[in-house]
Structure 1
């Protein structure tokens, strides 16, 4: 049979499309409950292990990794965020969020995507109950009343995977034409520039969130002296920044951000991507759940998107483990999953959208209100505690 002929039919209890951190977390969480899974990953084995993109992990995500037995291995490679300094340019209003004031060892940690992927992949190799098919491209997903069908291609052969439960966890592939699911998208017209920058002053495990009329700028401690930079602005302004030489860029960053960390000394490779808010309505269909960035994409202003995806994976694993396998994908289970995740995902979307809309403009009179709000947040302990717990754990914080 040639690879472009009839599809080979395969049968699965659980088929996960996407082997990145969210899909891998789901597979491992299920295996800890004795449930096997098959995972389809488009990239080659180990392809993401040297990816230096920074992930801001909330304290809740750290607890998930700890339950999977991975955090002790990862902690030496991560940089703790002990304090978050929130301010707006041109204003004295600011707020400090400190881990020690909220009974946490850290508010979060910064870890490279590659280090997290390596640890997850190595853990998966310890479990024969997790089968991973690398360099495998999902072509279509079709929910059905008895099972979901995942069409995929591997080694020049087409397959039709029939799954009692299918999970789309690949944020890089929208597969937006899944029957019954509709994607809502809001384009901000802004891009995010990301890089790694070395500063004159030590970071002291402080993360900075600086709001400006052009958009927020974040500096996350990453390594002994470096920060990961997320600089957002209008698309054309970000493209102009990408075109600057290193010295001119560092000077522009200092002018934009201010002097809180001294001079900016070195800048790494600069990349950019467009910012949007996107979500599926609903995130389930018969015998199918969509989780992580495939279900919702958020503005990076509050570092919520990846952590919401980790909670998606964990909550779905707990629900699958609690249900008899014959009930997987049935309406009662899918409604239960939607209900369990609705507050968290909606809260993350609304929170990040609110921050962008309120802080990233220069409407007359709003700057004083924002300054007052930041100042009040700093002196009202209950408000600060509520914010920290939501950022760390979602709605159940």
Structure 2
């Protein structure tokens, strides 16, 4: 249902103090976090469609998300953690055709779990349920690109709304660093004959990384994210289940016993985009609107939720006096996000390209690097801690 003000004067009081464009996980989490700081949550607008209801008895959705420890804590604080989640207590990293490997254990970092895997559709549904009690206004139509200014204009099909601040949480900014990886991610749900509860696997092959994550629907199921060249991805999707299973077994090995797909597979192209956060007076981008990452190590949404936490913290005091200048808290937010954003982009951009190299000396160096991480906790723990929670200060 679309909830709009009965009247407005765009030249005096804007329709809203904050408008969030995008109703995916990042946009919903941002709306919930800001509502907790706002004296009047009704001055916050979330624009974007509601999730479609899940039909009873539908096949398992292959889209699963690896949420790190920090994201779990943050979503818990918003009362938006889904009911079903599969804990990750161990991560096994290996390189195909090389001996190098390393393991990350939750006990090394003093936590009960390194992270969890949740279903995308369940997470989004839970976020929207939490929003029903937040006081945030909803608009099912997503405005076209906002027009920066004072106030910011939000063009709709039949009218134009105004807001003091517009925050874009989805879509891709038109400029910035771009890189095409020449890979597609194949998503599928896999049943293992010898599952290992709590274990997640990241295997670097010469085609690209292959991840198997524990699935929240069943202890014997795993969520597969398999990065391969586009032609290989299309061939895998078109192949019979037995041929798909054989190819996966050859790439992954026997650590989980016999592997076989359950339900449909899907694929999507992989690219890097790192765009500007500041898009003009009163307009900011975060989440996928600011950066889209390679799925290696599952950092995209986790980085977006750290954007949310720090932006809500920066704008909290301003929401008490929205007539005041907003540029300072927005600049402060961009400064605070620089280190975490840069490190996460560098890690997720470098790993898949280096491990997929055709240059033999570099492949051997990667194997030695994994061995060094395994043997030297002083090297392994800082990387593991960043992947588990990022830089939050």
TM-score (normalised: structure 1): 0.89
Q: CA deviation at 1:267?
A: 3.1
2:350 aligned partner: 354
1:113 aligned partner: 120
The alignment of Structure 1 onto Structure 2 pairs a total of residues equal to 371
- Would the aligned equivalents of 2:152 and 2:164 in 1 still touch at CA under 8 Å? yes
- Would the aligned equivalents of 1:197 and 1:228 in 2 still touch at CA under 8 Å? yes
Q: CA deviation at 1:367?
A: 2.4
- Would the aligned equivalents of 2:245 and 2:260 in 1 still touch at CA under 8 Å? yes
- Would the aligned equivalents of 2:87 and 2:115 in 1 still touch at CA under 8 Å? yes
Identify which range, 46-55 or 268-277, moves more after superposition.
46-55
2:84 aligned partner: 77
1:17-72 CA distance string (max 9 Å, x none): 1111111111111112235211111x3x331657651011011101111211333x
1:142-190 CA distance string (max 9 Å, x none): 111x22112123xxxx2212111111112xx33x45xxxx233111111
1:131 aligned partner: 137
2:18 aligned partner: 14
Distance 2:253 2:187 in 1: 18
1:358-381 CA distance string (max 9 Å, x none): 111231212221111111101211
- Would the aligned equivalents of 1:59 and 1:392 in 2 still touch at CA under 8 Å? yes
Q: CA deviation at 1:282?
A: 4.1
Specify which of 80, 86, 98 is matched with residue 93 of structure 2.
86
What SS is found at the alignment partner of 2:97? coil
1:109-156 CA distance string (max 9 Å, x none): 0001111111111111112x201112x132121111x22112123xxx
Instruction: Return the structure number with greater strand share.
Output: 1
Q: 2:142 aligned with 1:149, yes or no? A: no
What SS is found at the alignment partner of 1:203? coil
1:271-311 CA distance string (max 9 Å, x none): 11110000112444211111111110000011111101111
Distance 1:20 1:282 in 2: 18
Q: Which runs of 5+ in 1 are unaligned?
A: 1-6
Q: CA deviation at 1:197?
A: 0.6
- Would the aligned equivalents of 2:62 and 2:187 in 1 still touch at CA under 8 Å? no
Distance 2:62 2:237 in 1: 19
Distance 2:136 2:54 in 1: 19
1:239 aligned partner: 234
What SS is found at the alignment partner of 1:137? coil
Distance 1:65 1:15, change over 3 A: same
- Would the aligned equivalents of 2:106 and 2:114 in 1 still touch at CA under 8 Å? yes
Q: CA deviation at 1:320?
A: 0.6
2:162 aligned partner: 162
1:309-332 CA distance string (max 9 Å, x none): 1111111111110234234532x2
TM-score (normalised: structure 2): 0.90
- Would the aligned equivalents of 2:277 and 2:284 in 1 still touch at CA under 8 Å? no
Q: 2:77 aligned with 1:67, yes or no? A: yes
> 1:302-341 to 2 correspondence within 5 Å?
302-323=297-318, 324-327=321-324, 329-330=326-327, 332-341=328-337
- Would the aligned equivalents of 1:186 and 1:278 in 2 still touch at CA under 8 Å? yes
Q: C-alpha root-mean-square deviation of aligned residues, in Å?
A: 1.9
Stretches (4+) displaced over 3 A: 7-10, 48-52
1:201 aligned partner: 194
- Would the aligned equivalents of 2:188 and 2:261 in 1 still touch at CA under 8 Å? no
- Would the aligned equivalents of 1:327 and 1:333 in 2 still touch at CA under 8 Å? no
1:122 aligned partner: 129
Distance 1:52 1:247, change over 3 A: closer
1:220-243 CA distance string (max 9 Å, x none): 010311000011111111111111
Distance 1:295 1:309 in 2: 9
Distance 1:328 1:224, change over 3 A: farther
